[in-house]
Amino acid sequence: MSSSPLSKKRRVSGSETNTGSHCSSANSVRTELSHTPANGMAKNGNEAEIDEGLYSRQLYVLGHEAMKRMQCSNVLISGMRGLGVEIAKNWRDLSSQFYLREEDLGKNRAETTQPRLAELNSYVPVAAYTGVLSEDYLAQFQVVVLTNSSLEEQLRIGDLCHSKGIKLIIAETRGLFGQLFCDFGEEMLVFDSNGEQPLSAMISMITKDSAGVVTCLDEARHGFESGDYVTFTEVQGMTELNGCQPLEIKVLGPYTFSICDTSSFTDYVRGGIVSQVKMPKRISFKNLSGSMADPEFLVTDFAKFDRPGQLHVGFQALHNFEKKHSRLPKPWSQADADEVLALTRTVNDGLSGSAKLEQLDEGLLKKLSFLSAGDLAPVNALIGGVAAQEVMKACTGKFMPIMQWLYYDALECLSEDEGVTLTEEECAPRNCRYDGQIAVFGSKMQELLGKQRYFLVGAGAIGCELLKNFAMIGLASAEGGEIIVTDMDTIEKSNLNRQFLFRPCDVTKMKSETAAAAVKQMNPAVRITGHQNRVGPDTERIYDDDFFEGLHGVANALDNVDARMYMDRRCVYYRKPLLESGTLGTKGNVQVVIPFLTESYSSSQDPPEKSIPICTLKNFPNAIEHTLQWARDEFEGLFKQPAENGMQYLTDPKFMERTLKLPGAQPLEVLEAVYKSLVTDCPKSWEDCVAWARNHWQCQYSNNIRQLLHNFPPEQLTSSGAPFWSGPKRCPHALEFDTNNELHMDYVVAAANLYAQTYGLEGSTDRAGVVRILESVKVPVFTPKSGVKIHVSDQELQSANSSVDDSRLEELKTLLPSSDNLSRFKLCAIEFEKDDDSNFHMDFIVAASNLRAENYDIPPADRHKSKLIAGKIIPAIATTTAAVVGLVCLELFKIVQGHTKLESFKNGFMNLALPFFAFSEPIAAPKHKYYEKEWTLWDRFEVKGLQSSGEEMTLKQFLDYFKNEHKLEITMLSQGVSMLYSFFMPQAKLKERLDLPMTEIVTKVSKKKLGKHVKALVFELCCNDDTDEDVEVPYVRYTIR
């Protein structure tokens, strides 16, 4: 809690909308990060340490410096309606304020909300304030956020904040409309405008010129832009550039750019790395009154380019209406809309400069009036998420702020029929929690929402936000409605900073059950069921035909492409709408998939991630990413795969047969590893584990490097006379082991403990004890050998892999002990887990990677960066999640109403760091044709397997059916990975299959029985038309029950 007492000067009913100069101040929440809570962020000097367990995913978005600046922030959020609490939560009366419950009606919003906000994060003291927003009170804050405030209040506080250097954000939502304004003062320093990792490239040439030209190695484009600043390291020859002050560049091509005058510098010899430098940028803001007269807009939708100017004047007219009548216009009231239009004309007539409009969009402004009393959770989520990100920018100087106005509308959510206008009666308040939504869509839509059955896949960050929005809009809150949420994960500490339905006491509980219970508290009427199942072929008995056919739609909240593509295929097959979304740091996207209208998620795919060549990893790393991937491979190859293979050898009689069938050198590699783990390297004690770790250290960081330098000495030349160790090949040096070197000891302690775990032995963290053991470890003397082949390229490696040492393979088969002799022997394979700091996993990765980096003179990475790269962590932040989910739920409104026009739907992309928004129509499902028949991915052939006689169709009848009914000759027929029929099939096999029922052929070929839950099979066809031309045709749904 904040140290300041709660002020009770003035109370306002949380269920009323009051006007006047203090309306917003009566519901204010203040958040501070300048205090240390009782559970203690330990302080270094006067600076609190950051809890990396809690904030790890957010740290990868903001960085340590920005997080430290946020720690010292003091923020006021005025107005605790849906939008205000959305902003506070990221950093709603019952229709959108998710921290108010029915028993809270009549209480002050701020005081009721404060304890529920405070429990989100014990590191953030939250205090409620219900007094006047006076100059003295405001002076203590770095940032003030106004929501639900009058224009007079905004202008008064705007002038005050601007003059005192307090950063101001104004956020408003009015039904399907949103407004955001930022004023961060006369001069603000932005330290990092986009949040991207600084780029770097290797240099192949630098010219001596009045504007020296730098040429990069042509392995990859440099990615720089003109105006970027760069600095240099490791340049040989032109050493004046090493460690120079940042230089501005001009891009000449994808591999070249020019820098400063290099004509007086020493001649360039070779090598060098050029690195981008983020330069602070100074920006200036107008105050609110100045910006109202001469606005600068951030366009959110280029299809609505002229709307910001219209809404800028319209919002002012709404304020004037509210001031005059002490209320907002009534929902869908024609009389009030006409008055708002007249007020807009008056406002516009009084304007001068760029804000003045030549012509008013009367239809748009009337809709603003119709909807202004509405309060929608998804719009609050979007505007609240964006506003919360602006608060972070104001506190930290990280990312580019909104300059200065953002206006948003989602009018596509209204009826597609332009002529349809709702009546005042349909949208009048019902004295229920959904009144803010009924004001926009009417009561019939509310009934439709209540009856929806939706499947939510995933209860992580996006899943939690979706569930909160579902509860607020009343999805599945009536008879017949249901939300089924499935997630097989348990809650971890690192989830808590963005998966806001979870609290510290929930750690280790199941996500889906906990989220379902939390949502029931927000809206007890929601009918929700939590499952703990992974979606995939293994759970098709649960999520079967009956399950999918009973759904209205699916929402994905997944974190991997494979699961997304699987759910996409299921939705296409069952013809269900799919709401797809994802985030990556400040970037977010939304895709809506509508049956028979749009393409599916799988229709377009991102290019595959670029993999690191094996030879680069094994012998020629040049970046920390290479050494970290090598360390991850080491982890798998030392502590997981040998134990797995060893246990399979001992328990699976067919292991040897399967292994010998593996391609290339794999059989030898696997059996060598099994022999080592069961015989030569099998430890009997902790001392043996320490000795193994010490010898493995010697092998990897000294012996192998010495062998590499024996094969390719530092002065080696290539066949063309160029230095071998140049460009991407960095010349390594061997390390000497030293018990006084902390990194060396980190490696031995972590490796020995992990090795002990795989054999079920007791480990130790006593470093002094480990040093004593090391004193008696004998390390064999190593002499580099001649005739050892080291592959320089992956092509060389592949051709070498085709030859196998058969004599060694036979020898290993006789040397391996029989599984009977080791029946009680147990090996435990270790699964890599990055988030447990006590398990030695990251200790090993960091030490292994940084030792190898030292071998090759690559700058090391700290634990935080190592975890990001080696753990393949996806950076995440609550602000982006909230904004993205807001957009998802706006698309849900359209689906529930049954929108059918492609232009009604919006796929969205955002990057809150830039800030940038882009919306587009979904891509229509591509059309194909055979004969004169058009079809898309949503079409299929429906074939009933059971005939009127009660017998099932045979393969011959199936082929004849397509020939007679569709004039198509099937040339190939498959089901999954099983080939059922092909024109080149041997005659004997064909004759045998032609008279068999289709299901019998499927079970015979796939060697799997068909489950009782399977009602239909999917067949893929290759066909020729009657001119013998190959034609593309839809798949077949073959019903068997």
Active site residues: 615
48 near 125, Cβ under 8 Å?
Answer: no
Q: Among all chains, which residue has been given the structure tokens 């923020």?
A: 75
What are the residues whose beta carbons fall under 8 Å from the beta carbon of 616, sequence distance 6 or more?
A: 622, 626, 728
The rounded distance, in Å, linking the Cα atoms of 684 and 819 is 19
DSSP 732-788: P------TT-HHHHHHHHHHHHHHHHHTT------HHHHHHHHHTPPPPP----TT-
> What ranges in 15-120 are assigned the alpha helix state H?
52-71, 82-90, 109-118
Q: What is the CA radius of gyration of the chain?
A: 33
Sign of CA dihedral 14, 18, 22, 25: positive
Q: Among all chains, which residue has been given the structure tokens 């009337």?
A: 366
Q: Which helix (H) or strand (E) covers residue 449, if one does?
A: helix 443-450
The rounded distance, in Å, linking the Cα atoms of 792 and 800 is 12
> What ranges in 350-442 are assigned the alpha helix state H?
362-371, 377-396, 424-427, 435-441
Tokens of 701: 């960081």
128 near 150, Cβ under 8 Å?
Answer: no
The rounded distance, in Å, linking the Cα atoms of 319 and 337 is 13
What are the residues whose beta carbons fall under 8 Å from the beta carbon of 376, sequence distance 6 or more?
A: 95, 96, 173, 175, 176, 436, 437, 440, 473
Q: Provide the β-strand partners of residue 911.
A: 587, 916
Q: Which helix (H) or strand (E) covers residue 928, if one does?
A: strand 928-930
The rounded distance, in Å, linking the Cα atoms of 453 and 275 is 53
What are the residues whose beta carbons fall under 8 Å from the beta carbon of 222, sequence distance 6 or more?
A: 199, 201, 216, 254, 255, 257, 274
Q: How many CB atoms lie within 10 A of CB 985?
A: 15
Buried b / exposed e across 304-340, counting CB within 10 Å, b at 16+? beebbbbbbbbbbbbbbbbeeeeebbbbbbeebbebb
621 near 627, Cβ under 8 Å?
Answer: yes
Cis before 915? omega within 30: yes
Q: In a 3-state reduction of DSSP, which class is residue 164? A: helix
